[in-house]
Structure 1
Amino acid sequence: MRLQKFMAKAGIASRRKSEKIILDGRVTINNTMIKELGFKVDPKKDIIKVDNKKIFLEKEKIYIILNKPVGYITSVSDQFNRKTVIDLVSKVDQRIYPVGRLDYDTSGLLLLTNDGDLTYKMTHPSHEVNKTYIAEVKGIPNNEELKQFKEGLKIEDYITSPADINIIKKDKGKSTVKITIHEGKNRQVRKMCEKINHPVIKLKRVSFGDIRLNDLREGDYRFLTDKEIRYIKDEINEK
């Protein structure tokens, strides 16, 4: 088995992040540092360590949905000692990590798991999973601005894929919109709203494909149902 695949299956990180850990010289096999991507390991014979701690294949796969509050970092740890989403699931014994990310100042649906293969597939650009957000923005977008948002916007060095946006509430000087995108570039929804001159005031993700936040309270989490787990696995296997 390739080393980065073993690390992902062991719940260390996604394959992509596991590759970085390897290149950073944090992995040893039988007490020898390995910095070669694709190095083959035998989980039954080799002693594999990350940061000098032996790692094993996870026996039980964990799938969690969390309603992330604003003010938490989407990371397993933080060098500045800021609160992370893992602090909110401290009662879970297995080592888990986020699927994708939500910005520090964005709330809502976040998936966490120890299934490295699934994380890799779900976050790969080829898997266009719809993500829906409720955003409170400054002003009220007009028809032309909504059209531009839906057709694609030039942001920095890329043009966004077609998206969906609908006004669901109008207030004095601001509005609430429902936005659906399938890309996941850094702060993309905020940048798109800024591009049409309606900066985000509040942003919350409410669904990830067919998995919905519904009435899960902010800061709380629950385990995915069997139906939701099947949906995720079917979704990634079809693409």
Structure 2
Amino acid sequence: MTEQAKPKAATPEGERIAKVLSRAGVASRREAERMIQLGEVSVNGKVIDSPALNVTAKDRITVRGEPLAAREPARLWLYYKPEGLVTSASDEKGRDTVFDHLPEDLPRVMSVGRLDLNSEGLLLLTNDGELKRRLELPSTGWLRKYRVRIKGNPTDPELEPLRAGIVVDGERFQPMIVSLDRIQGANAWLTVGLREGKNREIRRAMTQIGLTVNRLIRVSYGPFRLGDLEPNGVEEVKGRVLRDQLGFDPDTGEEPEARRPASARPARTRAPREAGPSPTKPQRSAEAPAKAAPRSRTGGKPASSKGAFLAQSAQGYLEGVAKGGKRPSPAAKPGGGKPSAPRPTSAGRGPSGTGPRGGASGGPRGGKPGRG
């Protein structure tokens, strides 16, 4: 006898504690896991040391002794990061960070990706860890564009290795989109587009082909543009943009139902249809049967008016040949057309005074009258 299959263990209710902390804007999932391992998170008054824990809305969560704030709708901002600021919550060298220079009315936010200390331009900020994770996924394949000023006057062929993909210190960089915009004295301006975000990627690639970057500005990140923002300027992205362009519901942190695959949507039950006639289609009376479409004399599918006329003419011709060898006069065409003129008599003259086919000489119709 085979052993009975063991019942599957019930899935724990709620969500992983690191995911809850991330959505509340405390930190990214990875950083939240690190905080848990350091003993900075408590659940229901007990310090936890492992992120392998599911929590629900009934659980009391504290972080560093402070109660976890209720989750707010996800929000996203565009920020012009100036040169000289570190993109991190704190810096071990005591340098100014991006978060030291944000407006005071901004809630606690996290950066989407990073910009180097000496780089400037567009940086995305969000209060939602799940949105941050989604925007950083390599699978998005978003193009990031930069305005790059380099020292020197390179020719277009000299930039070709960047377009083909280059190896720097054993690390291969994906092909870049590079265009030479203009020469400005001893410098040149380029536009560079890439779809990956490796550390100091553009600077390292330029150095590999003998060029030095002296200014780097990120002007776009996927569908988002730097536009007219000034350094340290902040502009919020509207919630409907998160829904329409990113497929992200700011209120739930999930993909809107309209954009989910059919297999992932909740099943919808349809009320059973009551027996009886359809309310939208009138029922045909039993005393008035439907008119059948006309059929040709030779049988088969219903024929159109023109097709019925041709079929009847052909059938009449065959019957006439079988009886006496004479071709009967064709019937008038349906639709009120004129009947064909009678054929000439045996004396050779028809009612119009013309011979067969319009003339004795056998010319085209309408020729000279023939003789008797």
CA shift in 2, pair 1:90/1:31, >3 Å: farther
* 3-state SS, counterpart of residue 137 of structure 1: strand
Does the CA-based 8 Å contact 2:85-2:117 persist in structure 1? Answer: yes
Q: Distance in 1 between matches of 2:31 and 2:188?
A: 38
Q: Does 1:63 align with 2:76?
A: yes
Which residue is equivalent to 1:3?
17
Q: Distance in 2 between matches of 1:142 and 1:227?
A: 44
Q: What residue ranges of structure 1 are gaps of 5+ in the alignment?
A: none
* 3-state SS, counterpart of residue 188 of structure 2: strand
Give the counterpart of 1:41 among 45, 50, 55.
55
1:55-134 equivalent positions in 2, closer than 5 A: 55-134=68-147
Q: Distance in 1 between matches of 2:41 and 2:245?
A: 30
Q: Deviations over 1:39-60 (max 9, x none)?
A: 2112x22222222222134223
* 3-state SS, counterpart of residue 6 of structure 1: helix
Which residue is equivalent to 1:166?
179
Q: What residue ranges of structure 2 are gaps of 5+ in the alignment?
A: 1-14, 249-253, 260-372
- Indicate the RMSD between aligned Cα atoms, in angstroms: 2.2
Give the counterpart of 2:232 among 219, 229, 232.
219
Q: Does 1:24 align with 2:38?
A: yes
- Deviating 4+ runs (over 4 angstroms): 235-238
The structure showing larger relative contact order (alpha-carbon pairs under 8 Å, at least 6 residues apart) is 1
CA shift in 2, pair 1:167/1:227, >3 Å: farther
Q: Distance in 2 between matches of 1:201 and 1:231?
A: 38
CA shift in 2, pair 1:38/1:231, >3 Å: farther
The amino acid that maps onto 1:141 is P
What is the identity percentage for the equivalent residue pairs of Structure 1 and Structure 2?
Answer: 31
Q: Deviations over 1:84-132 (max 9, x none)?
A: 2122323234211111111111100001011111101111233221110
* 3-state SS, counterpart of residue 233 of structure 1: coil
Which residue is equivalent to 1:53?
66
Does the CA-based 8 Å contact 2:156-2:180 persist in structure 1? Answer: no
Deviation at 1:208, TM superposition (A): 0.4
Q: Distance in 2 between matches of 1:105 and 1:31?
A: 44
Which residue is equivalent to 2:204?
191
Does the CA-based 8 Å contact 2:102-2:232 persist in structure 1? Answer: no
The amino acid that maps onto 1:69 is P
Q: State how many pairs are aligned.
A: 237
TM, length-normalised to structure 1: 0.90
Q: Distance in 1 between matches of 2:61 and 2:93?
A: 29
